[in-house]
């Protein structure tokens, strides 16, 4: 029955199916039967299909892992300014489990997505700057990037800001502000926020009530 549905699907959607339709087909049938459909979308420069198929190759879901093909797809999607692909490509370069490991290329890939206001990439570039990975340390610029990601309600960036305010890196130390930035992440179980909270004993410091914290925690309009 599934094979029959697969054939009918191809015949009826040969020139009109969307990425969402193929994902639904994959969900109801199999990843293996969906790959050719994703490839058809990729021929039309569908970046979502590129990204999704790259993840399939990385995970080896129903097929053999193929990191080389995944990298090619991510590079192509990144060139088309697909932020998730630029970010995942950066993570691929960051991994020591592949022969693509290259910190400079990882940094540049994260920067590309960060420049497009992609919060996870902004947060990652900030961490590179804090730790001096592939670039010189720049705490002030790191804080600015963490702030941009935080304004998009990216919790990990708020945890990083909590650390910056607690340690006084790039900003004047403010434990009350660090308390505010770490509180939500701690309650959500974010390990980084929990560590900052405990390492600096932020529970004993009152929140910085005089500061407009919502400006940094609510998504930007």
For 9-67, the pLDDT digits (tens) are 554 555 578 999 999 999 999 999 899 999 999 999 999 999 999 999 999 988 999 99
Question: What is the longest distance spanned by two Cα atoms in the chain?
Answer: 66
Residues present in the chain in total: 221
Q: Look-up: residue for tokens 């005089």?
A: 210
Between residues 61 and 87, the one the model is more confident about: 87
Phi, psi of 135 (to 5 degrees): -140, 165
H and E: helices and strands count for the chain = 13, 0
């Amino acid at each position: 029955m599934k094979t029959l549905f697969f054939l009918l699907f191809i015949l009826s959607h040969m020139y009109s199916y969307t990425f969402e339709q193929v994902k639904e087909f994959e969900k109801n049938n199999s990843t293996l039967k969906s790959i050719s459909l994703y490839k058809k979308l990729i021929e039309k420069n569908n970046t979502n299909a590129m990204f999704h198929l790259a993840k399939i190759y990385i995970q080896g879901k129903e097929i053999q892992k193929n990191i080389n093909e995944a990298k090619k797809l991510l590079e192509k999607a990144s060139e088309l300014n697909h932020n998730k692909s630029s970010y995942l490509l950066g993570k691929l370069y960051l991994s020591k489990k592949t022969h693509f490991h290259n910190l400079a290329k990882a940094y540049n890939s994260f920067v590309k997505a960060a420049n497009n206001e992609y919060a996870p990439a902004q947060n990652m570039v900030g961490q590179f700057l804090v730790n001096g990975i592939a670039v010189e340390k720049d705490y002030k610029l790191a804080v600015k990037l963490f702030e941009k990601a935080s304004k998009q309600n990216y919790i990990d960036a708020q945890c990083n800001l909590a650390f910056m305010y607690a340690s006084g890196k790039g900003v004047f130390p403010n434990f009350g502000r660090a308390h505010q930035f770490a509180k939500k992440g701690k309650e959500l179980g974010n390990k980084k926020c929990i560590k900052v909270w405990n390492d600096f004993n932020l529970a004993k410091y009152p929140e910085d009530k005089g500061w407009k914290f919502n400006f940094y925690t609510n998504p930007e309009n």
